[in-house]
Amino acid sequence: MKTMNLMKLFGIVALTGALAIGCAEAPKEGEPEPANNSLEDLVKSIEDLKKAEDCKSDASDAKLAEAEKLAKELKFDEAKVAYDEAKAMVDECRAAKNATPTDSITYTVVGGDHLWGISAKDEIYGNAFQWPLIYKANADKINDPDLIKIGQELTVNKGVSEAEVEAAVNHAKTRGSWTVGGIESSDKAYANQ
């Protein structure tokens, strides 16, 4: 009976050791290192992303603030989700900034066109409120975003980030009063962002 108990005990010790070794195993070749697996790592990643000034937006800042708050409340899983969302926004912005010329198309203005209508076309953006994206990409060609000319060739950037779309839609909805024949100061400010 003692021999049987010793064998069971030896089996349990061996199994426990094997589990511990298996859990501590390094990632297999080609697999990324695990990141943010502890609250300490996550807080450091949040701080690092907050310092990234190249692609910040109100939305990513809000998500980072949410992640930081949740981390302080020791809600790791929720903080990780908020961090991952903020990082995705920043990564998307960076990808758009590194977009190649193939990420744009040329649109030739025809009679009756206006930026609002061009932007609403499914093959362009499918959203009329995104017209400021076209204006910004062509500010050197467009004297007045409310008055474009037949035959004008406009560049339409397809690789725009969520933050750029957000800024464009916000501008379209809040630009204020406008007149045909001149450029409004809010349009100038938007184009120079």
Written as tens digits, the pLDDT of the chain (193 aa) is 454 443 444 444 344 443 343 443 443 344 334 455 788 888 888 888 888 777 777 878 888 899 889 889 888 899 889 888 888 888 777 776 665 545 888 999 999 999 999 999 988 889 999 989 999 999 889 888 878 999 999 999 988 888 889 988 888 888 766 666 666 656 666 666 7
Q: What pTM value is reported for the model?
A: 0.47
Task: For residue 12, count CB atoms less than 10 angstroms from its CB and return exposed for 0-12, middle for 13-18, buried for 19 or more.
Answer: exposed
In this structure, what token pair is assigned to residue 186? 């809010």
- Do residues 113 and 98 lie in contact, with contact meaning Cβ atoms separated by under 8 Å? no
In the block, residue with structure tokens 């932007």: 119
- Do residues 183 and 177 lie in contact, with contact meaning Cβ atoms separated by under 8 Å? no
- Cα–Cα distance, 106 to 123 (Å, whole number): 12
